[in-house]
Amino acid sequence: MEAFTVLEAPAAPLLRDDIDTDALFPAAWVMDFDTDYGAALFANWRYLDARSVENPEFVLNREGFRAARILVAGANFGCGSSRSHAVWALAAFGIRAVIAPSFADIFRGNAIREGILPLVLPRPEVERLAAIAAAHPGATFRIDLQSCRVRDPLGGELAFEIDAPAREHLLSGLDEIDSTLRHRAAIERYEAGVRAKRRQWAAAGIPHDDRSRAR
C-alpha cells in the first residue's frame, strides 16, 4: 500500500448523495475476471453504451477532471453492498481521497485498507469545495494528512479530523499484515514462552485438560 502523507492533485465534483458500491463498480463487471478496474469505475455513468463510448456529460470524462485524484461527493458515499471492487476501482483509476459529509462504514474501512483517505467535512464546506473544483477544472487541491488540513486552489484552508488508527495506517503505508509484523519480536517472544511452558507441562506429566489451571 502506498503511504498517504501529502496529496496535491485536481479534484472532481460529484455532489450526489448515496453513491453506492454498484454505481462505483457495476455488478455486470464483477464476474469479468479480466476486468480493468480503472475502466470499470462509474461504468454505467461514464459510458453511453456497454463499455466504450464515453458520456461527455460525466465529470470524469471532461477536460480538467480526467486526471482527478480527489473526489468531492455527497453524503453516505459508498453505501450499499460491501463490494470491495468499488475501492479497487477507485484506486485503479487513481483516486487517493474522497471528500464527503459522511461515508458508509464498510466502505470507509475498505478505503483505508486500500490507502484511500475518506475525508469528512461538514456539508457546507464540501459544497464550497465542489463549487471551487467545478469552477477551476484541473486546479490543485492540497490534502496534508500529517497536519490534517486541506487547502483549496483559492488559498482557503480547513482542518479535518480522522481517528488515530486510520491516520497511522494511511501515513505508514502498511497493510494489516505489515502492521502486525512490526511486532514480530514480541510475537516471537510470546510463542517461545508458550513452547517452553508446553515442554514444562509435558515434563511434569500435566494432562492437557489441566494445563489451563497450571498457568
The tally of domains found in the chain comes to: 2
158 lies in the same domain as 206: no
127 lies in the same domain as 198: no
Locate cell 463549487: which residue? 131
Q: State the sign of the Cα–Cα–Cα–Cα dihedral 84, 88, 89, 90.
A: positive
pTM value? 0.82
CA distances from 169 to 99, 109, 112, 131 (A): 18, 11, 8, 31
19 lies in the same domain as 66: yes
92 lies in the same domain as 155: yes
In a domain, 177, yes or no: no
Check which CATH number belongs to the domain holding 24 and give it: 3.20.19.10
What's the mean pLDDT when you consider all of the chain? 90
Q: Is 173 left (phi over 0), alpha (psi -120 to 50) or beta?
A: left
What's residue 33's pLDDT? 63
199 lies in the same domain as 149: no
Q: Which domain holds residue 84?
A: 6-172
Q: Does the pLDDT at position 175 exceed 80?
A: no
Our measurement of the distance from residue 192's CA atom to the centroid of its chain's CA atoms, rounded to an integer in Å, reads 37
8 A C-beta contact, residue 24 and residue 7:
no
59 lies in the same domain as 138: yes
1-10, 32-41, 133-142, 158-167: least confidently modelled range: 32-41
39 lies in the same domain as 123: yes
Q: Is 161 helix (H, G, I), strand (E, B) or coil?
A: coil
8 A C-beta contact, residue 152 and residue 131:
no
In a domain, 151, yes or no: yes
147 lies in the same domain as 202: no
CA-angle at 162, arms to 161 and 167, nearest 5°: 135
Residue type, 110: N
What's the length of the chain? 215
151 lies in the same domain as 117: yes
